[in-house]
């Protein structure tokens, strides 16, 4: 089951790293999110600054219907989009899947009415994390 920590909705997942990334993508798609970006942080840091880093992938996920509602509420929400989901190996070697918590993210724009977006986005991201 997921836990909420700081800014994320996360859980530890069994499996190989690549398998968990693929399962995360599938779970997000099942909840209506497309994957707009996929950043392999480990490979990028090695290529750009010759530094070793743990397995770490950032998925930029977007649910078009929710994005449209958010953008029509406030154009500044684009600064917080897409919803980032990360998959990484933690210090003990466990694989963690974590999604941005929309409730926390919405606090960055206190004057915007995001009530029609935050709850369904939280439910969908929580469901995706639980189904990885």
pTM of the model: 0.91
Over its length of 132 residues, how does the chain's per-residue pLDDT go in tens digits?
Answer: 566 667 899 999 999 999 999 999 999 999 999 999 999 999 999 999 999 999 999 999 999 999 999 999 999 999 999 999 999 999 999 999 999 999 998 888 888 889 889 999 999 999 999 999
What pLDDT does residue 3 have?
A: 60
What pLDDT does residue 100 have?
A: 94
- What secondary structure does DSSP assign to 9-73, as a single string? EEEEE-S-HHHHHHHHHHHHHHTT-EEEEEEEHHHHHHHHH------EEEEEEE-HHHHHHHHHH
Q: Which listed CATH number (3.30.310.70, 3.40.50.720, 3.10.20.30, 2.60.40.1180) goes with 3-130?
A: 3.30.310.70
């Amino acid at each position: 089951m997921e836990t909420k920590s700081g800014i994320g909705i996360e859980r530890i997942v069994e499996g190989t790293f690549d398998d968990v990334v693929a399962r995360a993508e599938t779970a997000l798609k099942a909840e209506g999110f497309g994957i707009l970006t996929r950043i392999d942080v480990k490979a990028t840091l090695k290529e750009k600054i010759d530094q070793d880093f743990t397995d770490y992938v950032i998925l930029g996920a977007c649910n078009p219907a929710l994005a449209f509602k958010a953008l029509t509420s406030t154009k500044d929400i684009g600064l917080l989009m897409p919803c980032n989901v990360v998959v990484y190996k933690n210090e003990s070697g466990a694989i963690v899947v974590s999604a941005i918590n929309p409730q926390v993210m919405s606090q960055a724009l206190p004057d915007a009415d995001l009530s029609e977006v935050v709850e369904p986005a939280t439910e969908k991201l929580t469901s995706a994390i639980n189904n990885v």
